């Protein structure tokens, strides 16, 4: 085993990290994780913590699921790779598309396009949305609408529909024809109210207004997360997504649900669109589909899209999009084993029950700690927003948020900090004791941040 100091030194010297400033690595080194078991992770210095981040919203069953590891090993031995580009495929890919068809039957999502992760799934949906309109003879529909604070990965298409300037500003110009409307967020919004239903209505009015301004016949799709995750866990009013669905239908605009985080149980329902009773036209999935053990995703296609492509025999219907690792047999095997475990355990039920306990605990922390401006979440996705001053909602400083991380880590829980938010997305198999441990560690973290 390589020496801990050697590794830390070389991390700063030789590795650039996603979503980090390279110059920051020496003064502010990341925790170096060496092992994981159950719902816990252990760093290189031997310190073990509850993983309240769940890897990155994706280790939903924790780190010790033998059936998935075994499926991966067996598939590695049987068929470690083969291409699914026209002409060949593999048995596990077919089996998985059949299985996913069953998962998304109520929403009529009958075709899976396999990818290597969330950004790939988003890119697939955006590209196929444009093609859908071309196939139907409405090729002038090229624009995309999305929500401010939305996160859709970092490929150029996904980053262009992103609603956070941090992921755009240094990479501009982005894809032309992408427009964002306000997110239905009670804590910070341009409407001067915290009434969730009213905010949802105002956002929908904005959406209608933007569609009229752009011209409905120029818009290919609206993309949104059913619950906004990376943007700070923004839970819309229950009417919001159904109203978006109605507006899209009225104007012939496709609705893409970005469920990279919300699919497979995290919100306390099977997936986020089902939580709100909406059938999207396309759905982006990834992350929990392999429980994080293999980079993989699936872009799901609904009946309307399938019908348009499959009834058109012209070259315009040919899918000129795909990845070397689309339908990777090891990823497919990992996904099959993961989905079997998720189904067996019905993890969304535990996510819902533990989520209620978590939200209650967070509400108590808000009462105790002035630095907490807002707490929010649903199922096992939650955020604590830290502010210097409650009336002005001035975001807490970076050192304050970092102090919260360090104290919680010391107290046995790894949390994630993003801007002035603490983000919580633990594995969906945690128990009541784990929730208590999280609240206790957060209590210490918030005291340290004050």
Residue closer to ligand PLP, measured from CB, 96 or 437: 96
* Nearest to 186, CA basis, from 144, 244, 228, 248: 228
| From 253-261, 303-311, 323-331, 340-348, span contacting ligand PLP (CB under 6 A) | 253-261
Question: Cβ 286 to ligand PLP, closest distance in Å?
Answer: 5
- Is 119 a binding residue for ligand PLP by CB under 6 A? The answer is yes
- Is 383 a binding residue for ligand PLP by CB under 6 A? The answer is no
Site for ligand PLP in 268-297 (CB under 6 A): 286
Q: Give Cα separations from 221 to 74, 178, 211 (angstroms).
A: 40, 10, 11
# chain residues binding ligand PLP, by CB under 6 A: 14
| Euclidean distance between CA atoms 65 and 67, whole angstroms | 6
Return the DSSP state at 216. G
Inter-residue contact 260 to 297 (CB < 8 Å): yes
- Is 123 a binding residue for ligand PLP by CB under 6 A? The answer is no
Site for ligand PLP in 153-192 (CB under 6 A): 153
Q: Which helix (H) or strand (E) holds 447?
A: helix 432-449
| From 33-41, 102-110, 148-156, 185-193, span contacting ligand PLP (CB under 6 A) | 148-156
Exactly one of 55, 62, 117, 445 binds ligand PLP (CB under 6 A); that residue is 117
Tokens representing 435 are: 């929730």
Tokens representing 59 are: 């280790």
| Euclidean distance between CA atoms 291 and 278, whole angstroms | 25
Query: CB neighbours (10 Å) of residue 385?
Result: 22
| From 68-76, 100-108, 258-266, 319-327, span contacting ligand PLP (CB under 6 A) | 258-266
- Is 152 a binding residue for ligand PLP by CB under 6 A? The answer is yes
Question: Cβ 324 to ligand PLP, closest distance in Å?
Answer: 16
| From 65-73, 98-106, 254-262, 347-355, span contacting ligand PLP (CB under 6 A) | 254-262
Exactly one of 114, 144, 151, 294 binds ligand PLP (CB under 6 A); that residue is 151
Site for ligand PLP in 32-71 (CB under 6 A): none
Return the DSSP state at 183. -
Three-state DSSP at 232 gives: coil
Inter-residue contact 419 to 268 (CB < 8 Å): no
- Is 229 a binding residue for ligand PLP by CB under 6 A? The answer is yes
Exactly one of 159, 221, 230, 380 binds ligand PLP (CB under 6 A); that residue is 230
- 188, burial (CB in 10 Å: exposed 0-12, middle 13-18, buried 19+): middle
Question: Cβ 263 to ligand PLP, closest distance in Å?
Answer: 10
Question: Cβ 154 to ligand PLP, closest distance in Å?
Answer: 7
- Is 261 a binding residue for ligand PLP by CB under 6 A? The answer is yes
- Is 334 a binding residue for ligand PLP by CB under 6 A? The answer is no
Residue closer to ligand PLP, measured from CB, 163 or 373: 163
Return the DSSP state at 295. -
Question: Cβ 300 to ligand PLP, closest distance in Å?
Answer: 14
Torsion of CA 281, 229, 156, 279, to 10 degrees: 0
End-to-end alpha-carbon separation of the chain, Å? 39
Question: Cβ 192 to ligand PLP, closest distance in Å?
Answer: 28
Give exposure, 278-289, as e/b (b: 16+ Cβ within 10 Å).
bbbbbbbbbbbb
Beta bridge partners of 52: none
Question: Cβ 232 to ligand PLP, closest distance in Å?
Answer: 12
Inter-residue contact 332 to 144 (CB < 8 Å): no
- Is 381 a binding residue for ligand PLP by CB under 6 A? The answer is no
Binding footprint of ligand PLP on the chain (CB under 6 A) = 117-119, 122, 151-153, 225, 229-230, 258, 260-261, 286
């Amino acid at each position: 085993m390589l020496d801990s100091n050697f590794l830390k030194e070389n991390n700063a010297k030789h590795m650039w990290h996603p979503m980090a400033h390279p110059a920051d690595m020496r003064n502010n080194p990341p925790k170096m994780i060496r092992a994981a078991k159950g719902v816990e992770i252990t760093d290189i210095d031997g310190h073990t913590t509850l993983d309240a981040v769940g890897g990155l919203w994706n280790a939903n069953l924790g780190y010790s699921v033998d059936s998935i590891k075994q499926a991966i090993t067996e598939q590695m031995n049987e068929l470690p790779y083969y291409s699914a580009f026209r002409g060949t495929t593999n048995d596990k890919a077919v089996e998985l598309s059949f299985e996913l068809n069953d998962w998304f039957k109520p929403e009529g999502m009958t075709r899976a396009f396999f990818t290597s992760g969330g950004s790939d799934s988003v890119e697939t949906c955006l590209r196929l949305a444009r093609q859908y309109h071309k196939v139907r003879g409405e090729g002038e529909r090229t624009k995309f609408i999305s929500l401010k604070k939305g996160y859709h990965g970092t490929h150029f298409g996904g980053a262009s529909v992103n609603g956070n300037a941090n992921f755009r500003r240094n990479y501009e110009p982005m894809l032309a024809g992408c427009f964002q409307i306000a997110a239905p967020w009670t804590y910070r919004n341009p409407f001067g109210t915290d009434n969730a239903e009213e905010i949802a209505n105002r956002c929908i009015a904005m959406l209608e207004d933007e569609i009229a301004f752009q011209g409905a016949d120029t818009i290919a799709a609206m993309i949104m997360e059913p619950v906004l995750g990376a943007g700070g866990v923004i839970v819309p009013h229950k009417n919001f997504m159904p109203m978006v669905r109605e507006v899209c239908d009225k104007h012939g605009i496709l609705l893409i649900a970005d469920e990279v985080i919300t699919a497979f149980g995290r919100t306390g329902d099977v997936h986020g669109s089902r939580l709100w009773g909406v059938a999207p036209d396309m759905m982006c999935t990834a992350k929990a589909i392999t429980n994080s053990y293999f980079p993989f995703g699936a872009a799901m296609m609904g009946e309307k899209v399938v019908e348009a492509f499959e009834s058109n025999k012209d070259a315009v219907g040919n899918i000129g999009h795909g990845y070397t690792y689309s339908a990777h047999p090891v990823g497919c095997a990992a996904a099959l084993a993961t989905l079997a475990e998720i189904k067996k355990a019905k993890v969304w039920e535990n996510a819902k029950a533990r989520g209620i306990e978590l939200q209650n605990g967070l509400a108590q922390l808000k009462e105790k700690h002035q630095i907490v401006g807002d707490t929010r979440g649903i199922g096992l996705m939650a955020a604590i927003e830290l502010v210097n001053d409650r009336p002005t909602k001035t975001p807490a400083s970076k050192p304050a948020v970092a102090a919260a991380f360090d104290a919680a880590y010391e107290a046995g829980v790894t949390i994630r900090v993003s801007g002035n938010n603490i983000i919580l997305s633990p594995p969906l198999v945690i128990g009541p004791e784990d929730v208590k441990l999280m609240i206790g560690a957060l209590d210490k973290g918030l005291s340290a941040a004050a």
